């Protein structure tokens, strides 16, 4: 009878161990699935951020181009305005010199 009890206890222990291993295995599989899902979510987020970065780079390039165009336009305006002012100054200087010669 004791051999039967010992065998039954061994069988019960083995079943308990198998059950514990099965529970642990299920938990680990769920954790692995959760981590895989989290990893896929992070990969999607990285892809989204990369797209946003490319968009920002494009916008920045457009802004640099617009700024360069404004600088060129300003430089042209400044130089043409300076040239016009110099021409007017030369004309006024010539008039003043002529008046001074006439006065005497």
Q: Measured between alpha carbons, how far apart are the two ends of the chain, in Å?
A: 148
pLDDT of residue 32: 96
Q: What are the distances in angstroms from CA 102 to CA 34, 92, 95, 96, 98? A: 100, 15, 10, 10, 6
Write out the two tokens for 12.
Answer: 């019960």
pLDDT of residue 79: 81
pLDDT of residue 76: 83
Calpha distance 55→59 (Å, rounded): 6
Q: What is the pTM of this model?
A: 0.49
In degrees rounded to 5, what are phi and psi of residue 39? -60, -45
Better-predicted residue by pLDDT, 31 or 103: 31
Give the tens place of pLDDT for each residue, 19-78: 999 999 999 999 999 999 999 999 999 999 999 999 999 999 999 999 999 999 888 888
């Amino acid at each position: 009878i004791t051999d039967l009890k010992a065998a039954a206890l061994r069988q019960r222990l083995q079943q308990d161990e198998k059950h514990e291993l099965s529970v642990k295995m299920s938990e680990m599989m769920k954790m692995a699935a959760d981590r895989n899902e989290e990893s896929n979510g992070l990969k999607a987020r990285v892809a989204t951020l990369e797209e946003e970065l490319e968009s920002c780079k494009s916008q920045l390039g457009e802004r640099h181009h617009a700024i360069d165009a404004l600088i060129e336009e300003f430089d042209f305006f400044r130089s043409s305005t300076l040239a016009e002012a110099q021409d007017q100054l030369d004309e006024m200087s010539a008039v003043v010199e002529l008046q001074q010669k006439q006065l005497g």
